[in-house]
Amino acid sequence: MTSMTIGIRGGELVEPGGRRHAELLISEGRIVDVGEGVGEGADLVLDASGCLVASGLVDLHTHMREPGREDAETVHTAALGAARGGFTTVCAMPNTTPAIDSPSLVRDILRLAESVPCRVLPVGAITKGRAGRELAPMGEMAELGVTMFTDDGTGVADNALMRRAMEYASGLGVTLAQHCEDPALAGGGAMHEGEWSARLGIPGQPAEAEELMVMRDIALSRLTGARIHFQHLSTAGSVDMVRRARRAGVAVTAEATTHHFTLTHAECRTFDPVFKVHPPLRTSEDVAAVRAGLADGTIDAIATDHAPHTPETKDLPFDQAPPGMLGLETALALALTELDLPVERVFDLMSWTPARIAGLAGHDGSLRVGAPADICVVDPGQSWTVSGRAMASRSRNTPYEGRTLTGRVRHTVYAGRAVVVDGGDGP
């Protein structure tokens, strides 16, 4: 298979340096030629006319649910969805059952990832069992290639423990990522606390539950010198604090999800638990602040926080249903159409910079000879209607059900293999 050559013809290459019309020739997992007509005569020719051609997308935040909830998603089905969404690398969150908090579990994920159509980077837990009490063996996991650690699903609430975790991580050269949510102040709130939670009688969690932990982690980063990556920033206050911290030279990076720049807490008025997510959907002012943060570079990356849940579990009452929504197959279209950003910036946010945060070597967005053949080919003009049932996921909890989006992945090449061809799953 890897000896097969692939030509990508007719598209416009998008690289950090700009855009140009050229063809790609791929062989043995690498780009072997770039230029006029080089794709002609390849074993497999992918028609990219009218399309943008760029480095494959990198998701810093994917819940693959394996092990433990294979009824909702598996590494295989999540990877299929990722490939369809143009992703060639995803970071698998460790809040599985059991949590990814040991080398043997990291090995399990790596083994499961061997035969799927997308690169899977296991993310380790910061604390054992994500319980927030003792450090997990980050060093042993780092030796297996793990570059990022988080207790995602919850934040590390203990200030002293988080300080030690950051100090320890800085010695390993790995990045800690934080789900910022002060558990006491969040108080089990099922949506954003505000006008809509008051009207709907749903217990809310205030923006400050997120912001207090962002504030603390900026302080701890200053104290320890360790890098901190903020996951799914959702409030105007968080964006503002990160902006100021960056200016002050604190080593912070941040991601925002597609739903936090496209949906508000008003969606919850239907009581449909598909709109329940943590951090919760916020106000339109927060949405505007997240968009501004993406535009001015305060926020480094767009992540999906792809979080599958089976219909059975999502059919619970709103306050009892698990939080989370699907994202892999809708993220690129939303970013291309909702943000009013140049396409270079969209690929920077969804591929080039997240690759750097995830420690993915060689994935700098340049489509040069010798670069890894992880390629996303997207038709920015193609409209399609979102259907949870049509997605690769075992679940169908997309908040965009029935919406027409513009921008659809036509081909995905992962490690030199065509894993999505003409919008369909590859061989």
Partner 1 sequence: MTTETDIRDEISPEFAPGEVPESTPAPGVRHLLSLDELGADGIVEILRLTDRFAEVTRRRIPKVPALRGRTVCTLFFENSTRTKLSFESAAKRLSADTMSFSPGGSSVAKGESIRDTVETLEAMGVDAFVVRHGSSGVPWQLRSWVAPTVSVINAGDGWHSHPTQGLLDAYTLWRTLGTGTDDHPDLSGVHIGLIGDIRHSRVARSDVAAFTSLGARVTLIAPPTLLPPSLVGWPVEVSHDLDAVLPELDVVALLRIQRERMVEALIPSLLEYTNRYGLTASRATRMRPDAVVMHPGPVNRGIEIDSDVLDTHPGAVITRQVANGVAVRMAVLFKLLGSEAADPAQFGTGEGR
Q: How far is the CB of 73 from partner 1 (least distance, A)?
A: 20
Query: Residue 114 contacts by C-beta under 8 Å, 6 or more apart in sequence?
Result: none
Is position 197 an interface residue for partner 1 (rule: CB under 8 A)?
Answer: yes
Q: How far is the CB of 127 from partner 1 (least distance, A)?
A: 28
- Nearer Cβ to partner 1 (317/381): 317
Q: How far is the CB of 196 from partner 1 (least distance, A)?
A: 8
Is position 240 an interface residue for partner 1 (rule: CB under 8 A)?
Answer: no
Distances (CA, A) of 301 to 210, 298, 356: 18, 9, 10
**Contacting residue, 49, 107, 158, 198, with partner 1 by CB under 8 A:** 198
Q: Could you give the count of Cα atoms lying within 13 Å of 405 in the half-sphere of its Cβ?
A: 25
**Per-residue contact flags (x/-) with partner 1 for residues 252 to 281, judged by CB under 8 A:** ------------------xxx---------
Phi, psi of 274 (to 5 degrees): -65, -20
Q: How far is the CB of 7 from partner 1 (least distance, A)?
A: 49
- Nearer Cβ to partner 1 (319/364): 319
- Nearer Cβ to partner 1 (23/182): 182
Percentages helix, strand, coil for the chain (3-state, rounded to 5) are 35, 25, 45
**What is the SS3 assignment for 357?**
helix
Q: How far is the CB of 308 from partner 1 (least distance, A)?
A: 18
Query: Residue 248 contacts by C-beta under 8 Å, 6 or more apart in sequence?
Result: none
Q: How far is the CB of 272 from partner 1 (least distance, A)?
A: 8
- Are 134 and 127 within 8 A, CB to CB? yes
Spatial distance between the Cα atoms of 203 and 377, rounded to a whole number of angstroms = 43
CA angle 318, 323, 329 (to 5 degrees): 120
Active-site residue (options: 101, 286, 305, 379): 305
Count interface residues toward partner 1 (CB under 8 A). 22
Q: Tell me the residue ranges of DSSP E strands in 48-86.
A: 52-55, 57-62
Q: Residue 288 is inside which H or E element, if any?
A: helix 284-296
Stretch that binds partner 1, among 13-21, 100-108, 193-201, 252-260 (CB under 8 A): 193-201
Is position 388 an interface residue for partner 1 (rule: CB under 8 A)?
Answer: no
Among positions 285-344, residues that touch partner 1 (CB under 8 A) are 312, 315-320
The burial class, CB within 10 Å (0-12 / 13-18 / 19+), for 295 is middle
Q: Judge whether 305 counts as a catalytic residue.
A: yes
In total, the chain counts a number of residues equal to 427
- Nearer Cβ to partner 1 (205/353): 205
- Nearer Cβ to partner 1 (55/197): 197
- Nearer Cβ to partner 1 (229/396): 396
Single out the residue of 51, 83, 98, 53 nearest to residue 306, CA to CA: 83
Q: How far is the CB of 343 from partner 1 (least distance, A)?
A: 38
Is position 201 an interface residue for partner 1 (rule: CB under 8 A)?
Answer: yes
Is position 233 an interface residue for partner 1 (rule: CB under 8 A)?
Answer: no
- Nearer Cβ to partner 1 (112/321): 321
> Roughly how many angstroms between the first and final C-alpha of the chain, as a whole number?
10
Is position 199 an interface residue for partner 1 (rule: CB under 8 A)?
Answer: yes
Binding site for partner 1 (CB under 8 A): 193-195, 197-204, 206, 270-272, 312, 315-320
Catalytic residues, by residue number, are 305
